[in-house]
Each structure stands twice: as structure tokens, then as C-alpha cells.
Amino acid sequence: MRSSARPFAALVAALTLTAGLFAAGAPASARANDATTTAQASDVSLAADTYDWKNVRIDGGGFVPGIVFNRSEKNLAFARTDIGGAYRWDQAGKRWTPLLDWVDWDHWGWTGVVSLASDSVDPDNVYAAVGTYTNDWDPTNGAVLRSSDRGASWKASTLPFKLGGNMPGRGMGERLAVDPNKNSVLYLGAPSGKGLWRSTDSGATWSEVTAFPNPGDYAQDPTDTSGYGNDNQGIVWVTFDERTGSAGSATQDVYVGVADKDNTVYRSTDGGTTWSRIAGQPTGYLAHKGVLDSENGYLYLTLSDTGGPYDGGKGQIWRYTTATGEWKDVSPVAEADTYYGFSGLTVDRQHPGTVMATAYSSWWPDTQIFRSTDSGATWTQAWDYGSYPNRTDRFTQDVSSVPWLTWGASPAPPETTPKLGWMTEALEIDPFDSDRMMYGTGATIYGTENLTKWDSGSQFKITPMVKGLEETAVNDLASPPSGAPLLSALGDIGGFRHTDLDAVPDMMFTSPNLTSTTSIDFAETSPNTVVRVGSADAAPHIGFSTDNGSDWFQGSEPSGVTGGGTVAAAADGSGFVWSPEGTGVYRTTGYGSSWSASTGIPDGATVESDRKNPKKFYGYKAGTFYLSTDGGATFTAKASSGLPAEGNVRFKAVPGTEGDIWLAGGSTEGAYGLWHSTDSGATFTKLTGVEQADSVGFGKAAAGASYQTLFVTAKIGGVRGVFRSTDAGATWTRINDDAHQWGWIGASITGDPRVYGRVYVSTNGRGIMYGDSSDSDGGGTDPGTDPGTDPGTDPGNPPGDAACSVTYKVTNEWPGGFQADVTLTNTGSAELDGWKLAWTFPDGQRVGQMWNATPTQDGAKVTAASVSWNGRVAPGASAGFGFTGTLTGGNAAPDAFSLGDEVCATG
């Protein structure tokens, strides 16, 4: 729900924020009043659990507004996304490594990255300014995250205002910058009229630069009352002239871009003490970027009449000579001939007279990229018109590694497929390699490794450089019992049929092309029959498949449909029930050739089908559950007592069992949790101990289990996470860990009916995650914990007759430190009900952070005690935990482990 932003309390001048650390296993909790309190934080240590987590490969799918190369170390680069976190480039694998998967449910807004900064003095340091919305859609304030190990772990400084990684103007920047001479000094440009901020202790504390005269005044839509379009976009970039400082001394000349069309560039010549508007600057535009060529003494600006990233109808490029104060319009085309704004901007650091820029808002027929090798005096462009409408391209484009980037389109010239892109606000030439350039688009990162062919008149090659960067918002997931293991409903790019989870599909769903798919379902006993619904520019909003999602055909739709809503397929594929946006609930007994209105169910209800009886369909809205026994023709209100009337509610029926339904959802203001019905929704029982739940799904039963495996995204035992139960919810095991949280994951979850333990988890910006259990067959009953167990309770000693084995593995090591994973297996005949595993370090190592267990250490002796979700370990089952440690000498593994008096086998 979105409501108007509340006025933010006036800030105290020069308010200083002190950051703490993020504890592994206890991420910082949200605060309602961070403006006047000290942030609580702790180190976040990355670790693997007993589950192996990967992305289902799509390769891209979302907007990449920023790419940052380190200026002092080759091949060190970072990328930021608007809702999906930050990434570091891995040159060896030519792929991106995610850096913010540890962001937890309560801080989901920190997955929106408004700016990145890489320290050229010490390349181990990297900073991220995070926060998704500046209005009340995002419940938490923004923060500056800082890492001294290239993003492997982070500390956070919470700010007294919000940041907008997914707000208008998010492609401008970078708002966050490190002084290239004195790297303890950083600047941050704030939105919402909060001004310019500075840190002098490497990002640990921040205070407002009260001398800065202009907090900006531009808003995309001043008439918007939601706090989104009417928010002041503020201070949008900071650039240093490194020539005006020396190693260890602060840079004196600092340039700042402001979202103010009359006053868009300011400068300090005394290290930020005083500031003034630069005289003679262009007006009537916003400077999206400001990049300084210090070799030649030129500051370049790319300008647009709006803040982007979607809009922009006019633009210019200007050059400022820092030595003389001369301004010069160096635009590659006349202003009158632009129908777009300029944004992407980069200088070749090997050949500083070479400058490149993008026409970021040229949607049709394509984006445009411009290049100058004489400091903007003359330009060439990536494509020109030959004999209209035909184009002459300076490039070739190969998307065979990500073939869906063609969108399955067949456009007429001058459009092409694939396109160079759109929303191209990030553009960077590798500072160490004039041939490598990367740029971000609304769907991917493109790049080239032979860019200088542009200048010789031959064609350079553009390919996706996006492997590992997964940025899609996932709305729904389905895993049929046969055919493709996964079908997905995604925002912006529709969805995919994955026959191989580790391979990029050839194409998203087409015929119809839905911009965002909101719901997908298959017929449980006839899984070749699939239906999907979603958003579209025009009808139809629904598609059908009879070959498991390989091929699709369009269906008709009832009048009044404006959006996808939810859809359900009868168990045998004989009919469908659809609850679209804009009108009521409808049913069809064919493939959408005609529709009949359902009765007895309110507009906007969520609909699902029974997975055994093809005549049964279910609905839910505002605390009331509805049942149809005639194929969706009529519905009857059933249970309502105690069910959540507010918040997001999702429910599913268990495959193969008629009338067996699980319902998750609610809100903190009312009922919230997980409910179960075995009588088609006539009655529901709330599961005690499941404090909150948001999505529920089913997978293959464990060996010897009589019930399908349950998966939920939930809060159990005071812990938020992904949980599994193999005994119909009697006990639960947390299967993710604090290094794998992915922000908000409440939209959808499903197990795989063919692979025990495999689970697919939706994220809002990190794509589809899938996890595989190290326990390949389940080992019988799931080793869970009583949902009501207090996580702080001492788990006690295990039974004396327990037998055990331990695997200890060092997974990473660096000077002075290491990381290790430990797996404890119950090889005895009795269940462990709480455990304490003890060992002695042979080289005096010290435990630092530990996850999935609680450590105590006395000298070289260490004990790791179970936590709430892994204390009970059935015979044959395992519990895993990990830790980081420090060392001063060797790092030999412990030679013995014990549970109470029982010595464990090792291997």
C-alpha cells in the first residue's frame, strides 16, 4: 500500500552518525527513528549452509544505472542496480559476483543501490549508498555501506534520511565519491532537500556540509502527492580534480552536480569549506553526469531536460576548461535535432582526449552512443542513417549468450533486434584498457573488447557482459511434475520456461508478450496445459500453452480487463478461473474463447485450483475463503474466523490430496501466520510458533515421509528465513542462512516435485534463487525444531548414547584469517535434541563470527551450540554451521570433536 510521504523532522545541523557493525546471525534491526539514534550494526560474514544456493540463470533482466571501475587496479569494477543490489566483476570468470545477498527482510530497501564508490588509494575499500524509496513505501532510512574486503563483508552507517535507488533520477551520479588523495574523506549527495554530506573517517560517520548552498529543487512531477514523482532529486554527483591535492592531503577542487536547471554545477576550491555556483554554466538543463579529464583540464557535462531514466526530450553536452573558466557547447548534434537527453559519460584514461556519451532516452528507433577523439570538437556515432530507413552501424552485436535479448521481435527498419539498448545511463571505458567498454541498459550490461575499431572505420563487437548479474522481480513460480522443472512469472520481461536451471533460456514467453506476468499455473494431472496472465499494453492479458510452456497462443478476455491478477487451471486442464484487474472473476471451459462471470466471489479475489478435483476452485479476499465445486461457476463463502483481513495473503492446495490447503500471509497490525485446512477451506487451523508467513509451497516428500515437503518464507522462532518441514508443519528447519537472505522474498516459493529438498525462491530484484539440500533423500523425518522453542534457550547436552561424525573444512584463507564450514552428522540411533560440539584448535586459532551455531571459547577450546532451527537432528541427518576465525601461526584442522562424552568420527 502506498500513501503520501510524511514530513521528515528538521535535521540538527552537522548531525553526526556513528556506525556499529552487523553481527553474522543477527542483522541490524530497523529503527523508526534513526535520525536521532546511533545505528546498531555488525559484520556480515558470507558463508555457505547445508543448502547450496544458486541463481536460476536468466542473465540480466533489469536496469543497471551505474558501473564503476577502480582507477588504480586493473580489472576491479562494480555495478549497481536499482532494486537488486551491487556486484563486483570477476575477471577470471568474466562474470559478476553479488555483494548484498545478506540484506535481510527488515532492511529490504537496502537492495536498492543509488550510488557506488571504489577507493583508488586502497582498492580493497568499496562503498555503497543504499535505500530504495525516499517516501514511506520504504520503511527504513538509507545507509552508506562500507567494505574493506571488496564487498565480501560490510559495515553500515544508517543515515537520518532515505535514499532512492529506485526513484526518478536514479541514473544520475555518482552521488557517492571518495577523495582520490585523502581516502578517509567521502562525499554523498542526498535527495529530498537534505543537501551534501561528508565523512572524514572512511564512511563511519557522516555530517551535513552546511556551507553547501543549494539542496536542489527539481522534481519529476511536482503534482504527484505520493512522495515519488514530487520528490526533490537533490544532489546528484560529486567529482574531484585530483591535481589539486597530494597523497594524504584533501583534494581542494571539488565539483558537485545539483538537480536545479538554473544552478546545476557548484565548485569548492578549498577542500569543501566554501562553495559557489560556477559562472557561465549552461541553464535550462540538469547535469546527469560530470566527468573530469584531469590530463587536459576539462570537466564534461551530459545534460537533459529531465532527470530520467525514462523521460528526456532535449539535451546538450558542455565542456568546462578548469584553468580559464571557459564554457563551450560541444554537443554532437544541434539541440533542435535532439529528441532525447544525454546521460552516459566517460573519458578514456589512457587517451584522455577521447570522450563518449549516450542518448539515454532515445527509445526509438534505438539508443545512440557518441564518441569524440578530440575532446568534443567533433563526434561520430554508433549508427547513422544510410538510405532511410536503413541504418549503417559501426558495430556488430552478438547476443547468442543471452538470446532472449532479441525479445522475439521482428521490427521494421530503422528499428533492429536486438537493440543497442534503452535507459543507457551507465557508460564506462576501462581506465586500463581503451578497447574495453561497458554500458548499462534497462535489461542488461553490454560491452566490447575491441572498441578502438570504431576509430579505424571497422566494426567493433558488442556482446552481453552480464553473466552472474541477475536482476528480475519474481511474481510467481511453478514447478510441474513433468516437463520443464520451472516456469516463472517475472516483472518487465514476462517469464521463462527453464529446462536447465543453469542455462539461459532462448526466449521469454511470447504470443502474447506480457510486459509483466503476474500469475502462472499448470494443470496438476495434465502439466502440459499451462496458463499465464499479466500486464500488457493492449489485450490480450492471457496466454495458454498445451506443450508445457514451449509454445503459446493468445486467449480472448472479458471486457474491462486492465491487468493480470491471478489465474488457476483445473487439475485436469478442463477449465480455468481468472481474477483479472479491472473486472470480476471469470471462468472458461475452453482456452479462453469465451468467458462467464463467476458468482459469489468478490472482484479482486486471489484464485487457486484444487490439485486433485478438477471441479474445485478456491478464492480469498479480505479474510474470507471461498469454495467452488462446479468449475468456478459459483463460489460460496467458507471460513473467515481468525484469517488475515489485511496484508498480502497467498495460498496453495497440496498436489494429490483433495481439499488440503495451506494459507500464508497477513500483517503486523492483525492476524499474521500460516494456516492449514483439510476440508476445502471450511475450517482452518493456525500453526502455533509460525509467527509470520508470506508464501508457501510444496516439494517431493522426504524418504519415509507420508506428506509432501513444505517450504515457507516465514518468521519462526524469532528468525526470518526460508524454512522446510517434512512432517506437515510439526517441525521446521531453516534452510537459508544470514549470508543468503535477498531482502524481500515474499511473493512466491515452491519445491520441486521431482527432487527432494530442491526449492525455488522468488526475490524482488535478485532473480530466482534455487537451493539444493546436501541431504539428498531427506533421511526420513526432517531434523527440525519445535516452532515455539526460544532461540536463546540453552540446547543442553545430547543423549549419552548418541554417535556422531564431523566434517571440518577450511573454505577460505587470507593473511591473519580464515573461514571454515562444519557438518555434524548424527550416526546414532537416537535423535539429538540440542547439541554442543566441542574441539580444541591445535594452533591457537580464534573464532570470530559464527553462523547457525553459538560459540564459546576458552583458550584453544571451543564449543559450538545449536540454535533454534537446527537443534533436533534425526538419526542419519546432519546440521551444518560455519565461522570466520583469526590466526597468528598455522591453521591445522582440529583432530578431534566431541558431543558431551561421545567422541565423533572425523572425515
Q: Which residues are catalytic?
A: 82, 492
Helix (H, G, I), strand (E, B) or coil at 107: helix
d(CA 842, CA 147): 31
Neighbours of 626 (CB within 10 A): 25
DSSP string, 202-216: TTSS-EE-TT-----
| Sign of the alpha-carbon torsion through 78, 65, 474, 139 | positive
Q: What is the 3-state secondary structure (H, E, C) of 299-366?
A: EEEEEECCCCCCCCCCEEEEEEECCCCCEEECCCCCHHHCCCCCCCEEECCCCCCCEEEEECCCCCCC
CB 535 within 8 A of CB 514: yes
Start-to-end Cα distance in the chain: 53
Residue 727 cell numbers, joined: 512432517
d(CA 40, CA 687): 32
Measured between alpha carbons, how far is residue 773 from residues 565, 750, 751 in Å?
A: 33, 14, 12
Q: Answer left, alpha or beta for residue 226, where phi above 0 means left and psi between -120 and 50 means alpha.
A: alpha
d(CA 48, CA 883): 10
Helix (H, G, I), strand (E, B) or coil at 244: helix
Q: DSSP state, 689?
A: T
H or E element at residue 770: strand 768-773
Which residue is listed with cell 537493440?
Answer: 419
Which residue is listed with cell 479462453?
Answer: 592
d(CA 375, CA 246): 26
DSSP string, 383-443: EEESSTT-EEESEEE--TTSGGGGTT--PPTT--SS-S-SS---EEE-TT-TT-EEEE-SS
Q: DSSP state, 646?
A: S
d(CA 907, CA 897): 11
Residue 607 burial class via C-beta count within 10 angstroms: exposed 0-12, middle 13-18, buried 19 and up = buried
User: One-letter amino acid identity for 490?
Assistant: L
Alpha helices in 33-141 (DSSP H): none
d(CA 511, CA 507): 12
Strand order in the sheet with 86-90: 66-69, 77-80, 86-90, 95-98
Neighbours of 829 (CB within 10 A): 11
Closest by alpha carbon to 356, among 711, 851, 367?
367
CB 723 within 8 A of CB 712: yes
Neighbours of 337 (CB within 10 A): 9
- Residues 6+ away with beta carbon under 8 Å from 887: 816, 817, 818, 843, 844, 845, 846
Do you find a cis peptide bond into 309, omega within 30 degrees of 0? yes
